[in-house]
Every structure is written in C-alpha cells, then in structure tokens.
A = this chain, B = another copy of it.
Amino acid sequence: MKKTTQFKQLLKSQQLEFIMEAHSGLSAKIVEEAGFKGIWGSGLSLSAAMGVRDNNEASWTQVLDVLEFMSDATSIPILLDGDTGYGNFNNMRRLVQKLEQRDIAAVCIEDKLFPKTNSFINSKGQPLADIDEFCGKIKAGKDSQRDDDFSIVARIESFIAGWGLQETLKRAEAYHKAGADALLIHSKLAHCDEILAFMKEWGNRCPIVIVPTMYYNTPTDVFREAGISLVIWANHLIRTSIAAMQKTAAQIHSEQTLANVEPNVVSVKEIFRLQNADELEQAEKRYLPNKQE
C-alpha cells in the first residue's frame, strides 16, 4: 500500500493510532522495527540532530535531504513537521511537490511566522499567522499535490500563544474548510484540559492529532475516549539517544577503556543488520563476476 494511503488510513482509523519521532534514516528504521505504523519527522529533533536550533537555521532542502534518507530506509509513512511551510503559499506548493517526489506521506504546517520559534520557548503572546493567509497556504498545498492521498495537517498554535478556546475553534473551522486533512491541536500545559475542551466543542468533524509531550502523564485512554485520532510521541528517540550518548561518552572518557561499555551497546553486527549489509552480499554474488557462487 502506498505510504500516503497508509497515513490517510491512520487518520481515518476508528481506533486511536500512534506515530513516533525519528530524526535520521537510522532512527526511522528503529521506529518501523518497533512496530509503529508511522513516523513523525520532528522539526525539533531534526534540528537538534544537526546541531542547530529549531528556528529554521537549517534550510528546508537540508531538512528534505534527511527526510529522503528516512523515507528510503523505511516502508511506513512519514508525517513531516513542516514548520510554517518555510515561507508563504508558494513555498508550500514547492514543498508539497518535493515531499511527494521523496515519498513522504504527509506534512504538518503550523500557523506561525517564518522563521519559526519552538512552541516551548517563550511562546506566550507569540504572533500567529493571519487566518486567511494560512488558509491560502493550506489550499495552495492541497491544490498542488498529485497523489490524492497525500495529507496536510494544520497545526493550531493558539493555545500555545495564549489566545484561548474561541480563537482555537475559529482557526479550526477555517483550516478545516480550507481543506486540511486533519488538525493538530497543540498545548503546552502539564494536563490536557485545553485539548479536552476543544474536543468537546469540535466534535467529530475531522481527525484530530495531538502531541502530549508536556501532558505525558495523562492516561492514553483519556485521549481515546475524547475521540482523538492520532497521538504523536514527538521527541523521545532523540531524548533517549542523548541520555545514552552522554552517559557512554562520559564513561569512556573517564575510564579510558571500552571494556565496561561493550556489554551495554549493540554490537557492530547489529549496525550491519540495520544497514541491510546482507542484501549487498547477496547482490554481489548476482552482479559481480568474481563474486558469483
């Protein structure tokens, strides 16, 4: 099944679905092997992995280059965290075209201004995009996709910026009408009251996506009962990799030997397995004259 169709089915599924953050070809493959049905190409994680900030310091084509490796390494759909679409409606059109070429199933854009700022840094009172301008961006994206199943998720930042429920509903209504395939309602509270308040008013009009990074303690059944469609575990592979790398780097630096680290890291062979080295060995027998069996 096409990746775009796979993702559309996640959005339309009758049960609560989950996708997991990745930030590289390697982490994307790990997400797939863990059993997840989709991948979140997190802007925060992608920028952090590169060593830059989540403020469009990397160009959109540099992000795309990583996404291409992620897509090539996996067979499940990727939802790209596309920030603001990296400019205006015209940049969005170009982005959609480039994502489709690279077999990325969907993109999420947020109603903020370029260059973006992370939602968890000084977000109170951040200016949001003009609603009409953002609706034009959604329409432009939808009009430029060639594959009917490519999805555009509209991310609403009004709770984050402190504009409250009415503004959120107003934006939800507008983005839904503009053609968004789903809405991502973002909140940075430690509980999910904003989300639940929205769900109560919004009802069942379109698939709703959430990112419970800050309200991680909320039991998942609460999301299920509220009628959420898709939960994004948004940055936990990069966060666990940082913890592990910091610990291992410190230990090797201090002990000046690998002896005690070796049991706690995967083997070199496991890297080879993840890289699919066996396939190349088989292929060499087929295609290299001196390697044929």
- B-binding residues in A (CB < 8 A): 18, 20, 24-31, 33-36, 44, 47-57, 59-62, 65, 69-70, 72-74, 86-91, 93-94, 97, 101-103, 114-115, 118, 120-122, 130, 132-133, 136-137, 139-140, 212-213, 216-217, 219-220, 233, 235-250, 252-253, 256-259, 261-262, 264-268, 270-272, 274-277, 280-281, 283-284, 286-289
Tell me the smallest distance from the CB of A224 to a CB of chain B, in Å.
Answer: 9
Given contacts A52-B69, A136-B287, A239-B267, 4 further A-B contacts (CB under 8 A): A53-B277, A121-B277, A216-B258, A216-B259
Interface of A is mostly: helix
**Is B233 touching A241 in the complex (CB atoms < 8 A)?**
no
**Which residue of the partner chain B has the closest CB to A54?**
B275
**Is B62 touching A50 in the complex (CB atoms < 8 A)?**
no
Residues of B within 8 A of A57 (CB): 90-91, 94
Q: Can you name 22 A-B pairs with beta carbons within 8 Å?
A: A20-B249, A25-B49, A26-B48, A44-B271, A51-B72, A53-B276, A56-B87, A59-B86, A61-B61, A89-B287, A91-B115, A120-B272, A136-B288, A139-B287, A140-B286, A212-B258, A216-B258, A219-B257, A235-B268, A240-B265, A242-B271, A244-B244
Copies of this chain present in the complex amount to 4
Which of A61, A70, A87, A239 is most buried by chain B, counting CB atoms within 10 A of its CB? A239
**Which residue of the partner chain B has the closest CB to A270?**
B242
Contact of A52 among B136, B250, B268, B275 (CB under 8 A): B275
**Is A280 touching B115 in the complex (CB atoms < 8 A)?**
no
Residues of B within 8 A of A266 (CB): 239, 242-243, 246
Tell me the smallest distance from the CB of A138 to a CB of chain B, in Å.
Answer: 9
Residues of B within 8 A of A287 (CB): 89-90, 136-137, 139-140
Tell me the smallest distance from the CB of A95 to a CB of chain B, in Å.
Answer: 10
**Is A275 touching B48 in the complex (CB atoms < 8 A)?**
yes
